[in-house]
Structure 1
Amino acid sequence: MKVPFLSRRKVKSDQEEATRPKSKTREWFDALLFAVIAATVIRGLLFSAYAIPTGSMEGTLLTGDYLFVSKLSYGPRMPITPVSIPFLESRIGESKIKTYWDGIQLPYFRLPGMGEVKRGDVVVFNYPPDAGNNPVDMRVHYIKRCLGTPGDVVTMIDSKVYINNQFFKNAPEAQTSYLVSTDGNGINPELLKDLKIEIFQQMNINDYVMIIPPASFDDFKSRENIKSITEVVTPKGIYDESVFPHNSLFKWNQDNFGPLIIPAKGWTVRLNESTIALYRTAIEVYENNKVETSVGNIFINGKKADTYTFKMDYYWMMGDNRHNSEDSRYWGFVPEDHIVGKAMITWMSTDKDASPLNKIRWSRILREIN
């Protein structure tokens, strides 16, 4: 059958349209679209870049470090809030302007990964106390070291951590605070800067609370005007209401707390006044149950309950800079659905207080994180 003249003309026109060169604007648009899609997939499934804004992990990580975080290590978490602006935090700056729409919320699901969260891993996760303000995957990002995994018993005695009754050694560059007594002569600020020592508080003309890196301790202690250096440890039994679980049944503080069992998926806990104080947030907020107490009885979703079986695994996270870190000691457990990935490499590091020629910390470029 012969093709009509008009049809042949249309076929020719379509061929010409297909072979017609794209405009520069169209080429740039296609390239930009591909780059955004590729970057979104890579960031969502493989790894992300994060910056360290505070000193809670010093000296393992420094303020101004930029990290690559592997999502493959624990398995990529699928988006829970799929409608959001890529590459931005949940809110713009200090404003309340959201970068996402929470009209669609998907159930938590994680693809298989290369392994599981282990004790000692440096982990990026969404900040649990941000619950109620943002969806899980839109909560502020935190970075800490995992000290306890599901089912572990964590205890802290005089600032030393024990997991399942075994001493858990601090990270090599972990820091804490010390009471420093001097002879009254001033301390050279340049010396403190060179030794990376931070004055946390000045008690009087002679005494200071300082955060001293392990590598600087002996050098600083040997100085003529230093009379004594004593580690600051809050004694056992002194109750700090800011410390988890914020209940006077547990007279815990930042240096002495526990023993505390970290919930594991499938673990059944007997409910009473003590356990509901410890695990209520996990049961009610993270696992979406309604918890009520009345005349010594506990009700979950309107039914009297003597036990509860956890639906998720939980972790215990702490900063390496022990007395300058808001961590699990203050807000409790990190649920598995909050885990983002494992910090692997410092790819860039800048010092905002350094001179322009010394802004970049070259020794930290492409440095493995341990």
Structure 2
Amino acid sequence: MKKAIEKLREIWGNKWVRFSVVSLIYVLWFVVWTRNLLWLLGVAVIYDIYISKYINRLWLDRYRAYKKDHKAFRKAMEWVEALLFAVVVVVPLKIYFFGMYVIPSSSMERTLLTGDYIFVSKLHYGPKMPNTPLSFPFVQNTLPLTETTPSYLEWIQWPYKRLAGRDIVRNDDVVVFNFPEGDTVALGSITVKDEYGRSTDTDVSTTSYYELLRSLGREKVYSDLKVMYRPVDKRENYIKRCVAVAGDTIQVIDGNVFVNGRQQQNIPGVQYIYLVSVTSPIGNRAFERLGINTEEVGYSPEAGRYTMPLTAEGVELLKSLPEVKEIVRYINRIPGESIFPHDPARYPWTEDIFGPLWVPKAGTTVPLTLENLPLYERIIRNYEGNTLEVNRTDGTIYINGTPATDYTFKMDYYFMMGDNRHNSADSRFWGFVPEDHIEGKASFVWLSITPGKNIFTGIRWDRMFRGIH
């Protein structure tokens, strides 16, 4: 065994062996997998590192000698080298293999909790190559310590490209994706008056630009806020459950999801808003014992009733409390403009009564009419890059200046929903998620910290390394 190890060391000590092995790995990864012949230029760099050492003699030897003789320069360059090493190693891992994300809201409770840090596999669906390569590493869209300064330059924009993965997006996968309505954002705050005429400044940075247009009007949005466009890969990251894939037909009936006519399989973490009538108030300790998020609990003393999100298991546990009289699931039956496709006259849908809606599939052609145009308008114009105009006089639809009576989709689309069904901004509000927005599949929770607490006092040990299903 010892001789075998020594023999391997002797073989690896040969510079041509090392050059050949490293070059093979490099070509398989950067040339074959990415399908980009330009990466072959890197083989010349590998050849110089292991064989010719031209750069070493020309520059690196002088650099090392100067660094050895100048202490201040040496200290500074140690930090620079460490940072460069981190960028060179971590950035490819982040692009090709995995991402780390933190759950910022309760939209996926109780499957995922606010403060969960999750590992996201990019190999599962195939890594998506950056659209905007010139960007500051390790941040999504704004520079550190700023709120509006972009962390990227749009001098170079690459088209959508996804490498081969080990699977496809399937029904009920928990998926991380770029927020589709995040193509345009309005940053800043607006002044609003309450019923008593008092003015307050409200931050709207977390509100969809398109929702602001519907509620405030274009003039106020553009006069009071900073409006910015963001490329696909620089839009905010969202995490939801994919309830319908391309080609499926989805319908929500009284809050229950049906896909292709069949009710969605039972998902233990799904919760809905319930109206809980009580004889006396319930103490916060009871809520904590039952695992109910008190921040989402509302109480009306006059009606003697709570509104709160509950899982099916939570409903049964709450029924055991002596002060609870009745528990009724809330169902919204009042259509509004906030629900996709934002046309309640034609589509009087709510988050609980929605569809049926067909999810577009690449290569499929659908007839286009004024009736169904609201369903596909954003896809045609925003996601697939066409111009779209409608002659309101005769009802003719023009795509790229040509009259169109049908449309063929270029990409697959998905319909996403949060497991906290009444506290989730998802596809019921902003429509389909294009395939070029998909980042990866949520795999497991690697760290979980209770909001408001630190890493020393707030770690939720029972959630560490828990798989996401």
Q: Name the TM-score, length of structure 1 as normaliser.
A: 0.91
List per-residue Cα deviations over 1:287-343 (Å, max 9, x = no partner): 111111112111111110000001111000000000000000000000011000001
> Compared with structure 1, are the counterparts of its residues 18 and 83 closer, same or farther at alpha carbon in structure 2 (3 Å cutoff)?
closer
SS in 1 for 2:158: coil
Instruction: Tell me how far apart the structure 2 counterparts of residues 103 and 16 of structure 1 sit (CA, whole Å).
Output: 35
* Residue 195 (structure 1) shift: 1.4
| In the alignment, structure 1 residue 143 sits paired with structure 2 residue 239 | yes
Q: How does 1:220-299 map to 2 (within 5 A)?
A: 220-235=318-333, 238-247=334-343, 248-294=345-391, 295-299=394-398
Q: Secondary structure at the match of 1:219?
A: helix
Comparing 216-225 and 106-115, the one that deviates more: 216-225
2:173 counterpart (112, 115, 121) = 121
Identity fraction in percent: 44
In 1: Cα distance, 2:59 partner to 2:448 partner: 54
For the structure 1 residues 340 and 356, does the alpha-carbon distance in structure 2 shift closer, same or farther, using more than 3 Å as the test?
Answer: closer
Distance 1:102 1:14, change over 3 A: closer
Using the TM superposition, give the Cα deviation of residue 203 of structure 1 relative to its aligned residue in structure 2, in angstroms: 3.7
Counterpart in the other structure of 1:89: 140
1:170, CA displacement in angstroms? 3.9
One-letter code of the match for 2:291? K
Equivalent in the alignment of 2:211: none
> Which residue in 2 is equivalent to 1:163?
259
- Aligned letter for 1:258? G
Deviations 1:211-232 (A, max 9, x none): 1233332221111111100011
The residue aligned with 2:118 is 67
Q: Does 1:337 align with 2:459?
A: no
Counterparts of 2:417 and 2:315 in 1: how far apart (Å)? 22
Match status 1:98 vs 2:153: no
Unaligned residue ranges in structure 1 (runs of 5+):
1-11
Partner of 1:308: 407
Equivalence for 1:3: none
Q: Is the 8 A contact 2:268 2:311 kept in 1?
A: no
Cα offset for 1:20? 5.1
The equivalent of 2:458 in structure 1 is 359
Number of residue-to-residue matches in the alignment: 356
1:196 is aligned, of 291, 311, 317, to 291
Contact kept? 1:196, 1:213, Cα under 8 Å: no
Q: Which structure has more helix as a fraction of its residues?
A: 2
1:208 to 306, 312, 325: 306
Corresponding letter in the other structure for 2:261: N
* Counterparts of 1:212 and 1:19, CA distance in 2: 63
- Using the TM superposition, give the Cα deviation of residue 196 of structure 1 relative to its aligned residue in structure 2, in angstroms: 2.2
Task: Answer yes or no: is 1:368 the counterpart of 2:419.
Answer: no
In 2, Cα distance between the equivalents of 1:79 and 1:15? Answer: 31
- Which residue is 1:29 aligned to? 80
Any idea what the Cα deviations from partners look like across 1:218-276, whole Å, max 9, x if unmatched? 221111111100011123xx322211001120111001111111001101010001221
Q: Is the aligned partner of 1:217 residue 2:315?
A: yes
In the alignment, is the contact (CA less than 8 A) between 1:161 and 1:169 conserved in 2?
no
Q: 1:83 to 1:16 in 2, by over 3 A?
A: closer
Distance change (3 Å), C-alpha of 1:363 and 1:284: same
For 2:109 and 2:66, the matched residues in 1 are separated by 55
What one-letter code is carried by the residue in structure 1 that aligns with 2:320? S
Provide the C-alpha distance between the structure 2 equivalents of 1:319 and 1:287, rounded to a whole number of angstroms: 25
Task: Render the CA deviation track for 1:45-75: whole Å, top value 9, x for unaligned.
Answer: 1001000000000000000000111111011
Distance of aligned partners of 1:359 and 1:253 in 2 relative to their CA distance in 1, 3 Å threshold: same
| CA deviation after TM superposition for structure 1 residue 32, in Å | 2.9
Deviation at 1:345, TM superposition (A): 1.0
Q: 1:322: which partner in 2? A: 421
Unaligned regions of 5+ residues in structure 2, if any? 1-56, 69-73, 185-228
Rounded to whole Å, the distance in 1 between the matches of 2:309 and 2:444 is 25
Which whole-Å CA distance do the structure 2 matches of 1:319 and 1:94 have between them?
Answer: 29
SS in 2 for 1:273: coil
Match of 1:7 in 2: none
1:201 positional shift: 3.0
1 CA distance for matches of 2:443 and 2:119? 6
Q: Would the aligned equivalents of 1:196 and 1:212 in 2 still touch at CA under 8 Å? A: no
Distance 1:307 1:131 in 2: 26
Q: Is the 8 A contact 1:156 1:258 kept in 2?
A: yes
Cα RMSD, aligned residues only: 2.2
TM-score by length of 2: 0.72
**Equivalent of 1:181 in 277, 282, 296:** 277
Greater Cα shift, 254-263 or 213-222 = 213-222
Counterpart code for 1:50: Y
Measure, in 2, the Cα distance between the counterparts of 1:78 and 1:16.
36
Find the counterpart in structure 2 of residue 53 from structure 1: 104
Q: Which range moved further: 214-223 or 164-173? A: 214-223
Query: Alignment partner for residue 76 of structure 1, among 98, 111, 127?
Result: 127
